[in-house]
A and B are shown apart, each in its own frame.
Chain A
């Protein structure tokens, strides 16, 4: 656990970078510090490993005041990843990853085994170990940066815009891989970004800071989106707060409606009746094993004896339980039926997601369940 207790930083020129900041980062969680430039987020991060010393207040790591520790030794126990990565150009990838093990005196064999393990863990190609940093792409270099920070398995990681220097596609992939990795390694992480979307995606909690290092709100992304503490927070979250909120809720969090369902063998009359009950002009079509086949409009069934003879349309997008409601909403707006069909393992129909379900979900009070 990292604890900030009334921590302030004023620079020699009189500017206040951080203003009496108090918050806790619980074990195993990612706390994202986000805000406009000049809000002191990087300064705050750098105070945790004493790259910058606070002017006032106390920072504790696992209950110990870091100002009472030797800076170099403290830093060896804290993983450190920065946007520009800062790989050593004269050392191979293996040597780069083995830096901190070398500093804390691991023997060669242990270091080598750990480096091999990390090359795999962060998804580097095996043969990249003997290359030099300049021979790798930006994305690969950033993987090395993460591997280097993880080398001695430090309980705490500081990550300053770690994915800021790569293109959006690579960034998304690195973010997702890192979140998967974090589920395994459960580090306590301070993560700095200026990108609110990245904060929402990566953060178990978000600390939103404004100019001069004022903490505007410290909350889970869900809480912050549902109830921003003030106008600054609401502005910073941006105009698509509802959509951002939906991105955090998975389809499995809401109970799908069964919807107007018929099988291939059902008659036109039955289909018409089912549609009428649901107040639609279409029905969902499944086969005997309840595999989703698509949808058919009642009008198009005119003249056919049963549903199977009709013109069955595929849903423009099917959603699965792991997808977000935002994905479901996208499927809804691109489908003529105005709903998203939810399918489970092997294409089994599970129900439909409708606008009303989404409205109900958004109007619920904020949940306190970061996952």
Chain B
């Protein structure tokens, strides 16, 4: 049998779709880790970067600190946290959150700072309070970049959540580590394909969310901008026609 037909056999084997180590459960675990890590990162990074962007203070420092999270290898961070905290899901989460924070901080801060000075000035001059300027002007106008940050983080987290299996937790990484250990290359490749597919689906789904929540006027104005160019043809049509 060729490798491709064996790979197909792995995918079509009913046993691989059943039980606690089947593809559906592993995928579900993977999604849970990813969503949790992205949400925690957003809850930490968004308020800080919105505040810094709004006041225009300390932003570069925050970006640099956040980027340390990107500089440390995730595997190293997991092992270090494991040594310190023992065997539980927290080390995995620490690594994933550390990975997810920098894109959110950088994009959100830059998005808010990029709101035209004049637009901000006009908003203040008309009598908006600082909070109103942030929520009614800065966030809506920065939303394409804020969403770009969240998308980048989410996709990176989905790809890296594979490492949960390194500490004997579930997720699609199981197939990779088990496949490697057993020299079961069908399982290894099948897992890798599933992770890649989940990353793409994440990217696509968040692009759709973005198309819906970004104000219409901005979507029109940015119709030709790079953010949309990254989308697939169908998403591009959806956003410009939204």
Find out whether the CB atom of B121 lies under 8 angstroms from the CB atom of A82: yes
CB atoms of A86 and B118 under 8 A apart = yes
Binds B, one of A69-77, A115-123, A184-192: A69-77
Do A89 and B122 contact each other (CB < 8 Å), given the known contacts A72-B127, A84-B116, A103-B128? no
Cβ distance B56 to chain A, nearest Cβ, rounded Å: 16
The reply to whether A86 and B121 contact each other, CB–CB distance below 8 Å, is: yes
- At the interface, yes or no: A313 with Cβ under 8 Å from chain B? no
A149 to B217, CA, bound (A): 21
B: interface residue count bin: 20 to 34
B140 on interface, CB distance cutoff 8 Å? yes
**A91 — which chain B residues lie within 8 A by C-beta?**
215, 217
Closest-CB distance, B141 to chain A (whole angstroms): 6
Contact between B126 and A51 (Cβ–Cβ < 8 Å)? no
Q: For window 143-158 of chain B, which residues contact chain A by CB distance below 8 Å? A: none
Flag whether B220 is at the interface (Cβ < 8 A): yes
Least Cβ distance of B215 to chain A in Å?
4
Q: How far is the CA of A145 from the CA of B137 in the complex (A)?
A: 16
Question: How far does the Cβ of B176 sit from chain A's closest Cβ, in whole Å?
Answer: 43
Is A68 an interface residue, CB under 8 A from the partner? Answer: no
- Taking a contact as CB atoms under 8 Å apart, the answer to whether A90 and B140 are in contact is yes
B217 touches A51 (CB 8 A): no
Question: Does A85 reach chain B (CB closer than 8 Å)?
Answer: yes
- Closest B residue to A90 by beta carbon equals B215
Render A53-88 as a binary contact track against B, CB cut-off 8 A, 1 for contact. 000000000000000000011111100101011111
Chain A residues closer than 8 Å to B217, beta-carbon distance: 89-92, 132-134
Interface membership of B230, Cβ < 8 A: no
Task: Give the distance in Å from the alpha carbon of A366 to the alpha carbon of B119 in the complex.
Answer: 43
Does B221 lie at the interface of the complex (its beta carbon under 8 Å from any beta carbon of A)? yes
Kindly state the separation between the CA atoms of A85 and B121 in the bound complex, as whole angstroms.
10
From B121, B128, B129, B141, contact of A89 by CB (8 A): B141
Residue A100, interface by CB 8 Å: yes
Cα A133 to Cα B218 with chains together (Å): 10
At the interface, yes or no: B19 with Cβ under 8 Å from chain A? no
Closest to A145 in B: B122
| Interface flags, A147-191, vs B, CB<8A=1, else 0 | 011000000001000000000000000000000000000000000
Q: Would you call A76 and B218 a contact (CB within 8 A)?
A: no
Decide: A86 and B123 in contact? CB cutoff 8 A.
yes
Q: Is B132 an interface residue (CB 8 A)?
A: yes
CB <8 Å contact, A87 and B119: yes
Contact of B119 among A86, A92, A100, A158 (CB under 8 A): A86
A85 vs B122: C-alpha distance when bound (angstroms) = 7
Among B127, B137, B141, point to the contact of A75 (Cβ < 8 A). Answer: B127
Q: How many A-B residue pairs have CB under 8 A?
A: 78
In the complex, which residue of chain A has the Cβ closest to the Cβ of B215? A90
- A85 x B118 contact (CB < 8 A): yes
The answer to whether A86 touches B122 (Cβ under 8 A) is yes
The interface residues of chain A lying within 8 Å CB-to-CB of B241 are none
- Which A residue's beta carbon lies closest to that of B121? A86
Q: Which residues of B contact A128 (CB under 8 A)?
A: none
A104 to B220, CA, bound (A): 30
Q: Is there an interface contact between B116 and A86, defined as CB atoms closer than 8 Å?
A: yes
Known contacts A72-B129, A75-B126; is A134 also within 8 Å of B119 by CB?
no
| Chain A nearest Cβ from B18, distance in angstroms | 49
A87 near B218 with CB under 8 A, answer: no
B124 within 8 Å of A by Cβ?
Answer: yes
B124 near A51 with CB under 8 A, answer yes
CB-based contact A72/B128 at 8 Å: yes
Task: Return B223 CB to nearest CB of chain A, in Å.
Answer: 10
- Are A76's CB and B122's CB within 8 A? no
- B128 contacts A88, C-beta separation under 8 Å: no
Bitwise interface map of B from 198 to 225 toward A, beta carbon under 8 Å scored 1, else 0: 0000000000000000011110110000
User: Would A82 and B220 count as touching, CB distance under 8 A?
Assistant: no
Closest CB of chain A to B118's CB: distance in Å?
Answer: 4
- A75 touching B119, Cβ below 8 Å: no
**Which residues of A are found within 8 Å of B221, using beta-carbon distances?**
89, 132, 134
Interface residue? B233 (CB, 8 A)? no
Q: 4 shortest A-B CB distances, which residue pairs?
A: A86-B122, A76-B127, A132-B217, A90-B215
Query: Can you list 25 A-B contacts (CB < 8 A)?
Result: A49-B125, A51-B121, A51-B124, A72-B129, A75-B127, A76-B126, A80-B122, A80-B126, A82-B118, A82-B121, A85-B118, A86-B116, A86-B119, A88-B122, A88-B123, A89-B141, A90-B137, A90-B140, A90-B218, A99-B126, A100-B127, A103-B128, A132-B217, A132-B220, A134-B217
Seed contacts A88-B122, A134-B221; 17 additional CB < 8 Å A-B pairs: A75-B125, A80-B126, A82-B122, A85-B122, A86-B118, A86-B119, A86-B120, A88-B119, A90-B137, A90-B218, A91-B217, A92-B217, A99-B128, A103-B126, A133-B217, A134-B220, A149-B126
